[in-house]
Chain A
Amino acid sequence: KNQVEQSPQSLIILEGKNCTLQCNYTVSPFSNLRWYKQDTGRGPVSLTIMTFSENTKSNGRYTATLDADTKQSSLHITASQLSDSASYICVVSAAGSARQLTFGSGTQLTVLP
């Protein structure tokens, strides 16, 4: 069964600090992995996509990494801001099917002033 596990479940950091969120997956055959940000009361919004051949990709203060061998991804947030407080969801796509999107439960990040 395809699974996506995220850790930690929740994280509290002070504004200006860095943090790293983890995503482990067992999805086969792997197509790509996306990180979404979900603000409270809003729908998720895509931050970045990682394909099999990509190791690192940055989007502003967000940097995602992918290790396809160990089936792990991380999302690193640099110099956190209050607006980074949100749930971060890892979504892995399996190749070949419209329904094969497996969602992690998300990491709830709280940034305190």
Chain B
Amino acid sequence: DAKTTQPTSMDCAEGRAANLPCNHSTISGNEYVYWYRQIHSQGPQYIIHGLKNNETNEMASLIITEDRKSSTLILPHATLRDTAVYYCIARDLGYGNKLVFGAGTILRVKS
């Protein structure tokens, strides 16, 4: 699986959009980009995934650059409950479908 690089932490004002970047410059053609988040003392929660095209669901939007070397997770209207560690993972659908988590980005939403 390709290595991903994320900023250690970010702050966002409540009600504003939170834009979380992720670099995956060595991503291969069959690797998807996944985003999960972990709120303190809970298990990680799936947010969204994508391969080439931008994706949107009820939680967030995922913007993937044309060369697929980076992506941005967008939380359109961040709330205090969005404060969490956000993980970007590049992974193919190989044997075991393993998810390997890095350090992630600590997002602090402030009022």
Are A and B physically bound partners?
no
